[in-house]
Structure 1
Amino acid sequence: MTVYNKVKWVLGILMVFFLILTTNLIDRNSFSKVKDSVVSIYEDRLIAKNLILKLSALIHEKELALAKKDSSFFNERNTTVNAEIKLLLNSYQQTSLTKEEQDAFSSLKSKIEALMSDEANNEPKALLYSKSESLQKKTHAIKDVLISLSEIQLKEGQRQMLISQRELDMVELFTHIEVYVLVLLAIIIQVVVLYQPKKS
């Protein structure tokens, strides 16, 4: 095999190697984005949605106690409910929040703090009678913010799914391009290797 043929072989193999390396790096980057997106959907959307559901249930418990004029709830259970709400708020704060979500969450926290402050500063009898209407308005306002947060979870989950889909489409496109280029390179290498220049 002449030096010229060896150089042709080496160049052909290097071209294939760099093509595969480049597409591999692009694929790796795309798969990393898909992985991050899937993790985000679970950690920052599904877990947050679950926390919102639990918060809603606890606020609903307060609403029912107010509607039923249940003094035993405010004497016995309310302290536990408030402790659970604080834990859930703390867990929610650990998730990755968008700007819109951060604003809604800050509003939620301030509304819950106002509700708890009213509960702490009044006797159960006052809460159930003279303050009942005010507390019901506060619980309704809290539920409205929880609904907003729930809608944000859905919107952000859809956005993450679109990111995943776009990256997977990119991987598929590059895989097709890679196959076509490899076929083309194989043909070129065959032509180069098998081509025998005419001897004069």
Structure 2
Amino acid sequence: MKKSPYKIKEPMGDRVFLSVVYVILAIVVLAMLYPFVYVVSVSISDPAEVIAGKVAFFPKGFDLGAFKTMINHPIFFTAYKNTIVYTALGTFFTLFFTAITAYPLSKDKFQMRSFLSKVYLITMFFGGGMIPTYLAYKSLGILDTIWVMVLPGALSAWNIILMRSFFRNIPESLSESAYIDGATDPQILVKIILPL
């Protein structure tokens, strides 16, 4: 590729501005990365050096005793199992409930579309509060169960708005042609809309 003989010279003000922006961004990146580096350094350092406060950035000594203690703890694998189960179930229920909620809201023929959209929008700005939320969970009988971790976050107004907007951008002619072929709304959602 041939290099252009003409070079646009940046004004001095632009170069100074970009330099200041790069310095600020570098400081922000270092401030965000330092806690992670510190945790890794502490986890592989000699415990005596950590207690003495000698570990700041680089590890002092080398000891994997913290990892051995962590892995040998009786609830270590239970905690990982719970993490995997909560993530899998949470993802499934979030996608399922968001899709079946956003699909009707994306259709102009759905008469309660405007009202329900406003109701979901209100929940983005106003929460029930911690105590009423706890009492609701208690009355539903989901305290101390897996469902208290999965179900409350399964339906998010923000996710509904995002998915509804995506569904509205899909050409209506796809749904109409499926209606002509005898497809129902659930079939259209599962076989046409979601694969897109």
Q: Which has the larger radius of gyration?
A: 1
Normalised by the length of structure 2, the TM-score is: 0.28
| Structure holding more helix per residue | 1
Higher relative contact order (CA 8 A, sep 6+): 1
Normalised by the length of structure 1, the TM-score is: 0.27
